[in-house]
Amino acid sequence: MNRTAAVERNTKETRIKAELNLDGTGIAEINTGIGFFDHMLDGFARHGLFDLKITADGDLQVDDHHTIEDTGIVLGTAIRQALGDKKGICRYGDRILPMDEVLALCALDLGGRPYFSYEAEFAPGKMGDMSTEMVREFFYAVSYSAAMNLHLKILTPGNNHHMAEAMFKAFSKALDQAVTFDPRIKDVLSTKGSI
Ligand SMILES: [Mn+2]
């Protein structure tokens, strides 16, 4: 089964294209015009072993908000499309990920009911050209567009760069686990029969 998706979304604020292969090897080609955000998406692809291409052309003359939020919508949509009927996958994934002084937790469920819980306090300021508040907005958009229950939490805080990066990597490792096939699971992993 081919677990890939190509998604394009165009509005007056942003034009975004994404190609995702859930069974890739971590090849990333990211260009959003926001260097720090590219660095985060690159880490997501490489550490989750997903192949991911994203090009975003957004209204950065306004600020980074629309570009990052809409990239989250497009990535979440690509995840949902690539998953298909979700037969045979582990469905749940979690990871506590250390990055130097920081510990980040991610737990997620691909059961089809979107929910978002986020606990992280950033110090004032930006990370390169990305606003700290956009980390939350990005993951919120991903979780709803992918119909995913996503919990993200900083267990031990530290500098902004490490906290953001640890959350992106914890998310990618948890997602990698959740999309993995378990040969013992013959159908969808649910007492309802569908997710
Ligand atoms: Mn870094």
Binning pLDDT at 50, 70 and 90, where does residue 191 land?
confident
For residue 54, the CA-to-ligand 1 centroid distance in Å is 19
| Distance from Cα 39 to the centre of ligand 1, integer Å | 7
Give me ligand 1 centre to Cα 161, in Å: 6
Q: Which residues surround ligand 1, an ion (CB under 5 A)?
A: 165
Asked whether the whole model's pTM tops 0.95, one would answer: yes
CA 50 – CA 89 distance, rounded (Å): 16
**How many angstroms separate the alpha carbon of residue 165 from the centre of ligand 1?**
6
pLDDT in tens, 48-71: 999 999 999 999 999 999 999 999
Cα of 1 from ligand 1 centre, angstroms: 34
pLDDT of residue 167: 98
| Contact partners, residue 101, CB within 8 Å, separation at least 6 | 156, 158, 159, 162
Are 76 and 146 spatial neighbours (Cβ–Cβ below 8 Å)? yes
SS3 157: coil
Tell how far the Cα of 11 is from the centroid of ligand 1, in angstroms.
Answer: 30
Q: Which domains does the chain have, with CATH numbers?
A: 4-179 (3.30.230.40)
Alpha carbons 65 and 141: distance in angstroms, whole number: 12
What is the reported pLDDT for 155? 98
List C-alpha distances in Å: 163 to 8, 24, 101, 174, 177: 30, 26, 9, 16, 21
- Cα of 166 vs centre of ligand 1, distance in Å, is 9
Residues 82-122 have pLDDT tens digits of 999 999 999 999 999 999 999 999 999 999 999 999 999 99
